[in-house]
Amino acid sequence: MSDKRKKVILDLVGEDFYVPMKEKELAVMLQVSKQDRPELNRILNELLAEGKLSITKKGKFVKAKHADKELIGTFISHPKGFGFVEIDGRQEDLYIPENCVNGAFHNDTVKVALLSGQSGKRQEAQVIEIIARGMKHVVGTFDKSSKNFGFVVADNTKIRDDIFVPVERSKGAVSGHKVVCEITDYGKNNRKPEGKIIEILGHANDPGVDIMSIVKGYELPVEFSEKIMNQVEHVANEVSEADMAGRRDLRDLQMVTIDGEDAKDLDDAVSLTMDGAYYQLGVHIADVTNYVQENSALDWEARERGTSVYLVDRVIPMLPHKLSNGICSLNAGENRLSLSCLMTIDQKGEVVSHELVESVIKVDRRMSYTSVKKILEEHDEAERREYEALVPMFELMRELAEILRKKRRKRGSIDFDFPETKILLDQEGHPIDIKPYDRNVATKIIEDFMLIANETVAEHFYWLELPFVYRTHDTPDPEKITKLGTFIRNFGYLLKSQQEEIHPKELQKLLAKAEDTPEEALISRLTLRSMKQAKYTVDCAGHFGLACQYYCHFTSPIRRYPDLQIHRIIKEQLRGKLSEKRIAHYQEILPEVTKHSSDMERRADEAERETDKLKKAEYMEERIGSIYEGVISSITSWGVYVELPNTVEGMIHVSMLPGDYFYYDEEAYEMVGQATGIRYKLGQKLHIKVNAVDRISRTIDFVIPEEWELGEDEKAD
């Protein structure tokens, strides 16, 4: 639908009679109803991002001078010399042939011109201008090639060239040192880039250096400045009477926190009672904004970081520990300031009324997921005795959570139940085990309660028509859904929906059918890959995965800036201080806050993934020669990817498949032996042997073992 609307707008601005108009004037001209204005705003922004429209200094829209030829995007390089350009609003990246890169470096913002008459499927383009350099620093391994110079071999495999470093700029680095190198010259026309060493992280084999290299590579801020730490030192350690004045006193309400054993930043507490036939659910969130004032150094730092980052061996917090583990943590037995979402819920899971209040609370007990699981699932007598006063509330929580989950499932909410893993490290940082993360009755209770609070808060503010930060998840691209439909036919599954926009219920049904089958994890992953990424927006455009119209992130202001931002708006609204001036202020800042927060979330996700891949590679390095059973998780023209039960994934290169010459059948998504007709299919189980590991590229190579290498049990399989 949006493509048709884009065409209408482009046709209008291309007409001879068109005079430049502001958004409101365009809305009137196109007869856009008030409720569709946010959609018009989104489409106009997409057309601006695609370079098809320009905007004048007075805010009027005009057709871009080179609307069909010049586009601006981010250059993503490839080790073989060519690259791609990602453009906001454009579904497919542009392909940049090697001779059209024109000195662009990985992550540069570039202007490109489309090339006509290309031979491949993907649209080709050439870089015509480098607008901004995306990478100022590169993390890599130093190689001292001579007494006068050395090279930095980048950890990021997308960076093709080694970086030349003269000895006087090497800071005394020796071969094998992990370093941060500042790029001083990006090179061009076969001339290597040049740089200077600004930090030596340690030797590549020193404990913790491998993870710190990823931290630096993603430019994740680790330390807080002296100014911020001084600001934090002045924060009170206890809640004063003045702080509690004017707040709803909920200290007599029975409530708990439920978290993992090692959690230190406890930002959500829950309470539950019955009032006749109605559940009275309270979700109480730490009032972080009371200690992080808008536009303070602390606020700017939190805004810049966007999120806490949870790596395999450390947490890089959004806020200093004194806040996140201290006065902002809902520690048991302590008075704490909170924002409470108090909901009355009926037997069908409908929120029949709700109230948002500034409160003061006191948590009765700090519970762990393990303890609550023991109480509810295992009926552990010792555990039930220890928490005797709380057991009835936990029983009630399980009851309500099941009602809420059933209601979500009925409307089509998609629940991805992946076998997530926890990588256990020794004191030196070496992986010793990869264990499945336990998703149990207790984790689901908290998940269900946080979801309903997030929905309730989002809907509340949507109808107030005030500036807000929503969590949105767009409908998948029809092309990706078609591809998914082709994939799953290999397993005998069908997607009924043929319409342009699939309903989440169809995907939910697919996952339900695949439940408890050998291919369940694979189907879940393929389904997830077919969907778009969720993001933060100022428009309430709905959440496809949760099948709901209103959603936001309200429940984690210690570790997510969008939550902190909306807490500020909520409190101002509750206090009657959202004047026209403040509304205008939020309208001005929120688009940038949402974009930056989405970008920082993506950066954190990528860094977390890379550290996991690194430790999984290190773990398998100790197991070269070992034989495992896995399942084919992906097939490409260059090889077959196999995932093991511990979620480690490796590849069997097409040249290493035994007994035949194999080719990739793109339509069937199978690897086929030309002479034998042997087929390797998605979801197929097979035994593999760990053949090689490359810790730098974080890749694992598998081969198919010989018959004599298999044990009797394995042969029987």
Residue 717 amino acid letter: D
Q: How far apart are CA 285 and CA 318, in angstroms?
A: 17
Best CA proximity match to 443, nearest among 370, 552, 535: 370
Residue pair 325/237 in contact (Cβ under 8 Å)? The answer is no
Q: How far apart are CA 280 and CA 449, in angstroms?
A: 12
Q: pLDDT tens for residues 110-162?
A: 988 877 655 556 788 888 889 899 889 999 999 998 889 999 999 988 888 89
Residue pair 469/590 in contact (Cβ under 8 Å)? The answer is yes
pLDDT at 348: 95
**pLDDT reading at 717 higher than 70:** no
Helices (H), 554-622: 561-574, 580-621
Percent of the chain whose pLDDT exceeds 90? 60
DSSP class of residue 490 equals T
| End-to-end alpha carbon distance in the chain | 50
DSSP class of residue 654 equals G
Q: How far apart are CA 564 and CA 299, in angstroms?
A: 9
Higher pLDDT, 381 or 483: 381
Q: How far apart are CA 523 and CA 529, in angstroms?
A: 10
**pLDDT reading at 336 higher than 70:** yes
pLDDT band at 37 (very low <50, low <70, confident <90, very high): confident
Instruction: Report the CATH fold assignment for 137-206.
Output: OB fold (Dihydrolipoamide Acetyltransferase, E2P) (2.40.50)
pLDDT at 70: 63
Q: What is the CATH number of domain 70-132?
A: 2.40.50.140
The domain covering 623-716 belongs, at the CATH homologous superfamily level, to: Nucleic acid-binding proteins (2.40.50.140)
Find residue 309's DSSP bridge partners: 316
Q: What is the mean pLDDT of the chain?
A: 89
pLDDT band at 45 (very low <50, low <70, confident <90, very high): confident
Q: How far apart are CA 536 and CA 103, in angstroms?
A: 34
- What is residue 433's three-state secondary structure? strand
Q: pLDDT tens for residues 602-614?
A: 999 999 999 999 9
Q: State the span(s) of the chain assigned CATH 2.40.50.140.
A: 70-132, 623-716
Q: How far apart are CA 400 and CA 394, in angstroms?
A: 10
pLDDT at 90: 73
Q: State the span(s) of the chain assigned CATH 1.10.10.10.
A: 2-63
Distances in whole angstroms, Cα of residue 376 to Cα of each of 159, 261, 395? 52, 17, 7
Q: What does the longest C-alpha to C-alpha distance in the chain come to?
A: 83
Distances in whole angstroms, Cα of residue 150 to Cα of each of 227, 632, 699? 37, 42, 26
> Among 81-85, 522-526, 646-650, whose mean pLDDT is lowest?
522-526
Higher pLDDT, 485 or 177: 177
How many C-beta neighbours within 10 Å does residue 194 have?
17
Which element (helix H / strand E) includes 41? Answer: helix 37-49
Q: How far apart are CA 661 and CA 659, in angstroms?
A: 7
Which residues, including other chains, have CB under 8 Å from residue 7's CB and lie 6 or more apart?
A: none
Q: pLDDT tens for residues 222-281?
A: 999 999 999 898 888 899 999 999 999 999 999 999 998 888 789 999 999 999 999 999
Q: How far apart are CA 367 and CA 695, in angstroms?
A: 39
> Among 254-258, 297-301, 504-508, whose mean pLDDT is lowest?
504-508
Distances in whole angstroms, Cα of residue 538 to Cα of each of 50, 97, 454, 608, 687? 20, 37, 15, 27, 49
pLDDT at 716: 47
Q: How far apart are CA 286 and CA 690, in angstroms?
A: 47
Pair of tokens at residue 76: 């993503």
**pLDDT reading at 29 higher than 50:** yes
Distance of CA 251 to the CA centre of its chain: 36
Q: State the span(s) of the chain assigned CATH 2.40.50.700.
A: 137-206
Q: How far apart are CA 6 and CA 30, in angstroms?
A: 12
Residue by residue, DSSP assigns 298-355 as HHHHHHHH-B-EE-SS-EE-SS-HHIIIIITS--TTSEEEEEEEEEEE-TTS-EEEEE
Q: What is the CATH number of domain 2-63?
A: 1.10.10.10
Q: pLDDT tens for residues 170-216?
A: 999 999 999 999 999 998 777 889 999 999 999 988 888 999 999 99
Best CA proximity match to 379, nearest among 367, 391, 361: 391
What is the C-alpha R_g of the chain?
28
**pLDDT reading at 4 higher than 60:** yes
How many C-beta neighbours within 10 Å does residue 86 have?
12
> Among 70-74, 374-378, 405-409, 577-581, whose mean pLDDT is lowest?
70-74
Residue pair 687/652 in contact (Cβ under 8 Å)? The answer is no
Pair of tokens at residue 446: 């908290």
> Among 24-33, 292-301, 379-388, whose mean pLDDT is lowest?
24-33
- What is residue 109's three-state secondary structure? strand
